[in-house]
Amino acid sequence: MNVAEAIKNRYSCRSYKAEPVPEEKLKRVLEAARLAPSAHNTQEWKFIVVKDAEKRKEVAEASGQSFVAEAPVIIAAVGLNPDDVLSSGIPDYIVNLAVAVDHMTLQATEEGLGTCWIGAFSQEKVKKVLAIPKEYKLTFLMPLGFPAGNGKGGPKIRKSLEEIISYDKF
């Protein structure tokens, strides 16, 4: 699969098979995050791989989205320096982790795995479940596993290029 195919095929999977993710597939997904660029190449991130069924259930409860526990793996993306801000005024950990998580979603698609970006969760509750120190910032949760059903998702509804692109000025 090439990158364009992975981009077209990736979707927000909300139903997973109970089948475990083979370690070699998981390692390739995690390697995609490791290779992602970061501001000033600081790589100030940590990825917590949650496989324990009870912990997955607790994380799902803290996100208010029960389907998260269905996935045999949840990856929590944590920013280690949430006070660092780019010269543009944007916190760099958000940008860095968004790129790294997106790399993982595309590699997961290549591996035949489903993912879903989760940004809705209780910061305090998930940090407690995963023993994340208070000075760090949990940024995203990503369930990972083999999609239930046909593994294709529904049709992607996207705006046209004309609606989202302008040239030379806003």
User: pTM to 2 decimals?
Assistant: 0.94
Residue 48 inside a domain? The answer is: yes
Q: Is residue 169 part of a domain?
A: no
36-49: pLDDT as tens digits = 999 999 999 999 99
Q: What does pLDDT average to over the chain?
A: 95
- How many domains are contained in the chain? 1
- Residue 159 is predicted with a pLDDT of 95
36 within a domain of the structure (yes/no): yes
Lowest mean per-residue pLDDT among 39-43, 53-57, 128-132, 153-157: 153-157
Domain extent for 57: 3-164
The answer to the question of residue 170 being in a domain is no
The pLDDT tens digits of the residues spanning 76-104 come to 999 999 999 999 999 999 999 999 999 99
DSSP string, 39-62: GGG---EEEEEE--HHHHHHHHHH
User: Is 29 among the domain residues?
Assistant: yes
Percent of the chain with pLDDT over 90: 93
Task: Judge whether 99 lies within some domain.
Answer: yes
Backbone angles phi, psi at 157, to 5 degrees: -100, 115
What's the pLDDT score for residue 152? 76
Q: Is residue 120 part of a domain?
A: yes
| AA identity, residue 93 | Y
Q: Do residues 144 and 118 touch, judged by C-beta distance below 8 A?
A: no
- What pLDDT was estimated at residue 155? 77
Domain-embedded: residue 98: yes
Q: Which amino acid is at 77?
A: A
Structure tokens at 61: 């409860």
Q: Looking up tokens 């940090």, which residue turns up?
A: 127
Closest C-alpha among 40, 12, 17 to residue 147: 17
Which pLDDT score, from 0 to 100, does residue 164 have? 95
pLDDT at 139: 97
CATH number of the domain residue 39 falls in: 3.40.109.10
Token digits for 74? 């949840």
**Each residue of 136-166: pLDDT tens digit?**
999 999 999 999 987 677 778 899 999 999 9
> What pLDDT does residue 149 have?
81
